[in-house]
């Protein structure tokens, strides 16, 4: 019994078609995952927008601001990357510092934290929108 090791063009074509189908199936899986997460991503973005409204437009950090960022963090743990989740966790901690700073005796510390919070929220928002588009 001998095996013929010649290349069969039909077998090569079948192999190329199989590889192409595998690639298409992975792309479809990725797109289906993104579509499934879209509603959660939009909810998280709305929470960050609400926090940005409080901080940027009204210039205050309230308990609702903290809650909005915390809600966005909980949703981001499922719908966004680990980097965004960590950024939201840091923003929540910073929001807590800003909210408690108005009761401190050193109000200048609160201004530095609020400026950093404004910058961080804008960066988080832009990153979330960018990731949601993908």
Q: What is the DSSP string of 40-67?
A: HHHHHHHHHHHHHIIIIII----HHHHH
Contact between residue 134 and residue 34 where contact means Cβ atoms under 8 Å apart:
yes
For residue 62, count CB atoms less than 10 angstroms from its CB and return exposed for 0-12, middle for 13-18, buried for 19 or more: middle
Q: Domain containing 105: what range? A: 39-133
Contact between residue 113 and residue 94 where contact means Cβ atoms under 8 Å apart:
yes
pLDDT, one tens digit per residue, over 75-95 is: 998 889 899 999 999 999 998
Q: Domain holding 49: CATH number?
A: 1.20.120
| Domain membership flag for residue 115 | yes
CA dist 125 → 44, 49, 81, 83 (Å): 10, 7, 13, 13
Residues 6+ apart with CB under 8 A from 19: none
pTM: 0.72
pLDDT tens string, the chain, 134 residues long: the values are 566 666 777 878 888 899 898 888 888 887 777 777 888 999 999 999 999 998 888 888 888 999 999 999 999 988 898 999 999 999 999 988 887 766 555 555 556 778 898 999 999 999 999 988 86
| Domain membership flag for residue 26 | no
In total, how many domains does the chain have? 1
């Amino acid at each position: 019994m001998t095996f013929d090791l010649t290349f069969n063009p039909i077998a090569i074509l079948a192999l190329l078609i199989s590889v192409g189908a595998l690639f298409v199936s992975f792309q479809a899986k990725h797109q289906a995952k993104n579509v499934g997460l879209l509603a959660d991503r939009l909810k998280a973005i709305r929470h960050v927008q609400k926090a940005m409204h409080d901080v940027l437009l009204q210039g205050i950090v309230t308990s609702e601001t903290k809650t909005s960022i915390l809600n966005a963090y909980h949703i981001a743990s499922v719908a966004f990357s680990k980097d965004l989740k960590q950024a939201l966790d840091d923003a929540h901690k910073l929001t807590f510092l800003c909210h408690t700073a108005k009761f401190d005796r050193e109000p200048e510390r609160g201004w530095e934290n609020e400026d950093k919070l404004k910058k961080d929220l804008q960066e988080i928002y832009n990153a979330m929108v960018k990731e949601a588009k993908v």
